[in-house]
Amino acid sequence: MPDRKVVAKELAEIFKIVANPDRIRIIEELRAGEKDVKTLVEVLELPGPRVSQHLSLMRAHRIVEERRDGRHHHYSLTQPDMANWIIEGLDFVEGRLNGVSKVSITKARELWSAQKSNQTIK
């Protein structure tokens, strides 16, 4: 199979994994550092099993990694820059909108950009 075809397929897979609102929120939540499942469940207000499923999928694709401490499972981003890359995608969201929800975007960009990762700064 030609290189570009292979690579397009791999890229599509990454995009597919990120292409979910819950998972995006989880990734942005982990931007500030590792968190355990219960914390994620509370902060994001999502059902436990759902968060667990998402984490399991992302773990399988090495997007997050797990550190166990007693009965707490702490998750963190294996590639913290991914959180920034996702935020960059906001540029293209703005292009699609008819101006209305732009306020939300500006706010969210600030909120997410504010909490800088303690792992990524170089």
Residues near a second copy (CB under 8 A): 3-16, 18-25, 28, 61-63, 78-79, 81-82, 85-86, 88-93, 95-97, 101, 104-105, 107-109, 111-112
Dig out the tokens for 13 from the structure: 């897979």
**Nearest CB to DNA, comparing residues 4 and 122:** 4
- Closest to a second copy by CB, 10 vs 69, is 10
CB of 48 to a second copy, least distance (A): 18
Tell which residue, 81, 75, 40, has the closest CA to residue 57.
75
Provide, rounded to whole angstroms, the least separation between the CB of residue 26 and a second copy: 9
Q: 32: helix, coil or strand?
A: coil
Residue 4 vs 122, nearer CB to a second copy: 4
Bridge partner residues of 75 (DSSP): 35, 66
Give the closest residue to 81 by CA, choosing from 51, 122, 43, 53: 122
The CB-of-25 to DNA minimum distance in angstroms stands at 11
CB count in 10 Å sphere of residue 27: 23
